Amino acid sequence: PFKGRSPAMKLLIGGWNLNSIVCYNSGRPFTVGSGVDNARTGAGGQRADIISDPYFSGDRSHNDMINEYLKRAAFVPNAVGTYGTLGRNTYIGPGFANVDLGIVKNFTVKERFRTQFRFEAFNALNHANFSNPTASLNSGNNMRITSAGEPRILQLALRLAF
């Protein structure tokens, strides 16, 4: 688009390429575990019993969601002699949103030598992607989100091809 401009201007502002990857996903499923062996089998994987609605009504802040994703009081350990009433992967964790951007400029030094300059931004919008909550009733962090995905990461690269 810079036809008729000086060679130096063409070199600096012409020929840039922009690329992106945009990814939006729903959350990952998780199971609320009882954390105790009430089935008396010596095996883990026993699920909790549900006694009330685990969902909060209305909009909630991120801070409230992190501290208590689902109502803790809605779950109790499985009854003695049972594996629990909840099904496997009954609940869905927080969603995932990510935008990666890249800017690339190719320079031809000589016929056989090319240089490429790259600037890349991973999670360019610095969106907080929370992990699933801790879902074991015997944990002190029960229904609390304790981790998140990577923050924004910037990368510069210079490549010589010959």
Q: Which one has a higher pLDDT value, 43 or 84?
A: 84
Q: How far apart are CA 48 and CA 136, in angstroms?
A: 8
Task: Tell me: pLDDT of 1 over 70.
Answer: no
pLDDT at residue 15, as a whole number: 78
pLDDT at residue 7, as a whole number: 73
- b/e string for 11-23 if b means 16 or more Cβ within 10 A? eeeeeeeeeeeee
pLDDT at residue 74, as a whole number: 94
Mean pLDDT check: name the lowest of 19-28, 35-44, 78-87, 91-100.
35-44
Q: Decide: 93 and 133 in contact? Cβ < 8 Å.
A: yes
pLDDT, the chain, mean: 90
pLDDT at residue 38, as a whole number: 86
| pLDDT-based confidence at residue 102 (cuts at 50, 70, 90) | very high
Mean pLDDT check: name the lowest of 1-10, 36-45, 104-113.
1-10
pLDDT at residue 36, as a whole number: 87
Q: Which one has a higher pLDDT value, 126 or 37?
A: 126
Q: What is the pTM of this model?
A: 0.77
Tell me the mean pLDDT in the region 86-99: 94
| pLDDT-based confidence at residue 40 (cuts at 50, 70, 90) | confident
Q: Which one has a higher pLDDT value, 31 or 42?
A: 31
